[in-house]
Every structure is written in C-alpha cells, then in structure tokens.
Structure 1
Amino acid sequence: MWEGPARELRARGHRVLAVDQPGFGAAPAAQGPPSLDSVADALAAELDRQGIGSAVLAGCSLGGYTAMAFLRRHPHRVRGLALLAARGTADTAQAAEQRLRFADAFLDDAARGRLVAQTTPSLLGATTRRRRPDLLDRVTGLALAAPPQSVAWTQRALAARPDSTAVLRAAAVPALVVLGGEDELVAAAEARPVAAALPQGRLAVLPGVGHLAPLEAPRETARLLAGLLARAGKAGAGAW
C-alpha cells in the first residue's frame, strides 16, 4: 500500500521503512490473544533490528491504530505522527460485534469470496472506483490473498482496542490527520476530533479520495508527509 508514497519520499532523501503487519507479507503471524499492543511491540522490535531509536510514524486505517498503540506503549520513540483514515475512539459495542462477525465469516471458505466482494469497494472512494477500476481489482485480489487467520486475528484486535483520545492529547509532537473526502468508513466528524486532540495536530482532506489515500493518491499523500517531516525537522527531530 505504501509503495507510491515511499518512492516519492525516498526521492526526496528520506529513509522510509514500510513494515508488514504481523501475519501479512513477510511478517510472521502474531502470537497470543488478539491485541494491537503486541503489534506495536513487534514494530518496536523491528525498529530495534533496523537500528532506529525513534521515528516519524505514518499509518493508514489499521496502520493508524497500530501507530496509536505504539504511541501508548513507546511514546519516547515517536518524533512525529501521521494518522490516515483512523478514528481515535474505541469501537462502539455494535461496531465491535460487526468486526467479530466479519472475523468469523472470513474464516469460512464458502463465505469469504462473497464477503470480500461486498466489502472491498467501500475501501476506495467513488471517484477512484469510477476512474480506476484496475485499483479496485488490485485491492480485491489482495484481500482474497490475505491469510484468513491473520485477517480474523487482526479484526478481533481492532475490536478490542481502547480509546486513544488521552494518548493523543499527551502527544506533544508534530502531527497530521489525513481524511479522504470520499471515505465511506471514517467520517469527517470522526477525523476532526483526532486532529483536535493532538496538541500539534493538523487536518488535511483529500478530495476525491476514499479510505486508502496511500494507494488512491500516492503523490498527494507523500506531499503531506513531506510537510510533516519538515515540521518534525524544525522541531529538532533530527534524522529518522
């Protein structure tokens, strides 16, 4: 998902580390009860392996919730924060129940294809779906190829995540909240409080973009992140 923005940022001279979520890509499956705390700790361990003491974190959707968990557990290692398509509150009881039902259904081989076909389009904005049907096909293929056990574990971890508002209020670092103007999963009314909670938070809205800005608008996403990195540098963040 981050290939486009990462390429743009590297061309600007930034070091970029795109980390697979546990159980996806090259990352080993998560162990233990579903919890984003263990995902955040796995990220900390990967930074250790890379010799990185602290970093500017950018996360989209699940990555955003991972970033908030990391901020909760390793605040001294965060030099800047970008949250894309993520809300700061915990799931409502109804939303959590929906995630748990989704997790169970995704493990059903007979139901998975239909479930992916029904839910994947909402990840992209209406403009993207109309202009980039190839991207919808790509995202659908990625969803179908995802390990079912990892998807289910992750959905259960998301359902169990706590409210992060207090953590965001304590984050005295340059911060950016990005919302797609056509995001069908996170509303503007949910994104604005995230930016307001962050002491140095700024909100940016990308018109014609849905839930996955790094895929739908890689150059615009990279431009926004470059601005955040510049702010972090002026704040004395140094190298990342």
Structure 2
Amino acid sequence: MTVQLYARDVGGGTPLVLLHAFPLSSAMWLAQREGLGGRFRVITPDLRGFGGSVLGEDEPSVDVMADDVARMLRVKGIDRAVIGGLSMGGYVAMALCRRHPDRVLGLVLAGTKASADTEQARDVRLRQAERLEHEGGTRVLVDEVLPFLVGPTTMRQRALVYGRVRGLVQAAPALAAAWAQRAMAARGDSFETLRGTRAPALVMVGDEDELSTRTDARAMAEALPNAELQVIPRAGHLSAVEQPDLFNQAVAEFVAALARTSR
C-alpha cells in the first residue's frame, strides 16, 4: 500500500525537510516552522501512522519510512532537499541517504545514533510494542519513554515544554507507535551509509541527552566525510523543542551556507 504522508509546508527557498522523533508528530516542529519558515521552505511530514498520516499495511521498516519521504518529495516536485531528523527521524534520514542519496542536499542529524540497537534495547522496544498492541493506549510510553525525552534542566525550568511533550506522547496512536518500535528494533547499523554520504552534514546533540549521547554524536560526525558537530547546552533528547532558538540558529547557518555553495 502506498502511503501519502501528511505534511505541513511553509515558507520558500531552499527546501528543509524535518523528520520528527518517536513517539511524537510533526507538531513538535512548531518553533522550527515559525523560526525558519521566513528563510527556507520548511516541510514537516507526519511519518506513517502518526499525526495526519495513515499507517498502511507494510511490514515495520525504517526503509519503508524513508521511501515515504522520497515519494513525498517527488509528489511536491522537489529534486533535492536538506534532510533533518531528530531521534527516530534521524534513523529515517540515514535510511534516505542509503536508499535515495540523490535527494539529499544536506543532512542534519540531531539526538540520534548510527549504531543498531543493542540486544537489550531491542528487547525493550519489542516488549513495549506488544504492550501498545495489547493495551491500545500509550501508558507504557508515558511511563518508560517520556522520562528520557527531555533533560533535567527542562524538567526543572520549563514546565510548559515538558507538558507539551507529554501531551504529544499521550496523543500517539498505539498501533503506529508499536509499528515504529518494531521498525527501529529491526534497523541495522548506518556507519557505512554515513561514510559514503557526500552531502555536507550537521550533527547536533543536547548536552543532557541520555538516549543519544555525545559519544554517539561524535561517532557520526567522524564517520561523515564533511560534518560539523554542535552540542546544545541545557537540552536533553529533544533539543529542537527544549532549546528551539539555539537549534534554529545552528540549522539556519548550516542551510544558508549550503544554499550559497550549491547555487
């Protein structure tokens, strides 16, 4: 089944596609649409099953999610775009680099990692997927995933941000979240893909991120032939939501430099 992704599409200029984290939706990119839409064409799709996009009947796979994004670009008549992904969105962005490298003008990887899951992490994902399917609600995500999505500074000082993230987690459709967990559990290592990626890259990590660490970020930056690494202070896993101004500034400088050199 072919899935057409629902996407918010604002602004004009260099296309910047931002792929959301698990188990959120493109709603997480509000500050990016507002802060970057004046300079670039910011496209934020809901990955399959989340937000306004249907789940379809394909087997769980990050590659399928990447193909969805490539199809969306084709439908929109976009040859190449800067592809950005946070967490799960980063896995999809790396799959896009592997499967559709000609589509990637530049790459932004935030709060993500190129390594495959450990056996322990895989087991946790599959157990959560089973609970999501069995219970039909998001309690397991609120209990086990939400606590790691934002850093301690956000927990202490940004109650509204934490509340918003909690609301997005609670809004996740259980079957889509289960499908995505199975897709991420099955994904392979992406270091070879990164070593073969010619597009310039920006790797970002929150300095309080416990899920995707600075070590993970450094490993990706070192594997990529042309990458810079930025650490976002006082941010956990969702740096784009926790520190939107710093995140937007780094992305804007990266995309603007790319636009100048690709003319």
Band the TM-score falls in, shorter-chain normalisation = over 0.9
The answer to whether the aligner puts 1:54 opposite 2:97 as a matched pair is: no
TM-score (norm 1): 0.94
Match of 1:176 among 181, 202, 216: 202
CA distance in 1, matches of 2:216, 2:37: 31
- Larger deviation, residues 32-41 vs 97-106: 97-106
Give the 5 Å matches for 1:1-240: 1-11=28-38, 13-109=39-135, 112-113=138-139, 115-236=141-262, 238=263
CA contact (8 A) 1:85 1:180 kept: yes
**Is 2:136–2:175's contact at 8 Å kept on the other side of the alignment?**
no
Q: Secondary structure in 2 aligned to 1:24? A: coil
Which structure carries more relative contact order (alpha carbon 8 Å, separation 6+)?
Answer: 1
Give 1:28 shift: 1.4
Q: Distance in 2 between matches of 1:58 and 1:115?
A: 24
Q: 2:144 and 2:187 mapped to 1: Cα distance?
A: 25
TM-score calculated relative to the size of structure 2 = 0.86
More helix by share: 1
Residues 173 and 149 (structure 1), Cα distance of their counterparts in 2 relative to 1, 3 Å cut: same
Q: Distance in 2 between matches of 1:195 and 1:133?
A: 32
Q: What is the number of residues matched between the two proteins?
A: 236
In structure 1, stretches of 5+ residues that fail to align are: none
Counterpart residue type for residue 244 of structure 2? P
Q: CA RMSD in A?
A: 1.5
Amino acid at match of 2:64: S
Q: Distance in 2 between matches of 1:179 and 1:105?
A: 30
Q: Which runs of 5+ in 2 are unaligned?
A: 1-27
Once residues 71 and 114 of structure 1 are traced to their aligned partners in structure 2, the CA distance between those partners, rounded to angstroms, is 32
Q: Which of the pair is proportionally richer in strand?
A: 2
Q: Flag the 1:182–1:45 CA change in 2: closer, same or farther, 3 A.
A: same
Q: State the Cα distance separating 1:115 from its structure 2 match.
A: 4.5
* Gap change, CA 1:114 and 1:34, over 3 Å in 2: closer
1:23 and 1:30 in contact (8 A); partners too = yes
CA positional deviation for 1:141: 1.7
Q: Post-superposition shift, 1:6? A: 2.1
